[in-house]
Amino acid sequence: MPTKQRRYPLKAKDAKQIIETAQSVLNLNFEELFGAKTSVEVVESDVGLIYLLSGRPVLYKNGDRILPTLFFTEFIDKAPKIIVDMGAVPYVCKGATVMAPGIVRVEGEFSAGDLVLIVDMKHGKALAIGESLMDVNVARQTKKGPVIKVLNYVSDKIWSYIKMLSV
């Protein structure tokens, strides 16, 4: 488990920049979700930067990108979804790319490069957040090859660290 941790509030200017970046990537109105005066804290750990908005771990930094966590319920509820069969679940939960044969259904609209949620067909549980490698129409038609590059998944370092934080 990670040992190093530092937690501190962001200055208003830096918080605004993080929120604006996340809003543009996720197509969500953060002011509507969290209020006009959203407090933004950063948790620096050896797994990376995690951003807490109003005390909730909703974003993290992956390289130069700000991405949603699997704990960002508002994103989970509104994101386009890729529903995978139960045979794909163990692979997705280890970070494998989602392949066309494992996809049962595609819900919502997205373009290549957009973020999508990967869920299992039996329980509808969020397994991962990934980046689409193709447009929705192509994803619905394709029968082989990679469709979604997984970025964040259940049981990865970020997910495990946030679970530990929440205890």
CATH assignment at residue 9: 3.10.450.120
Is 67 in the same domain as 87? no
- Give pTM, 2 decimals: 0.91
- Tell me the residue range of the domain where 105 lies: 75-153
What pLDDT digit, counting tens, does each position of 100-138 carry? Answer: 999 999 999 999 999 999 999 999 999 999 999 999 999
Q: What is the chain's length? A: 167
pLDDT grade for 148, boundaries at 50, 70 and 90: very high
Is 64 in the same domain as 134? no
| Domain limit, last residue, from 28, 57, 72 | 72
CATH assignment at residue 115: 2.30.130.10
- Which CA distances in Å does 83 have to 73, 75, 96, 119? 17, 16, 15, 5
Q: Which residue has the higher pLDDT, 2 or 149?
A: 149
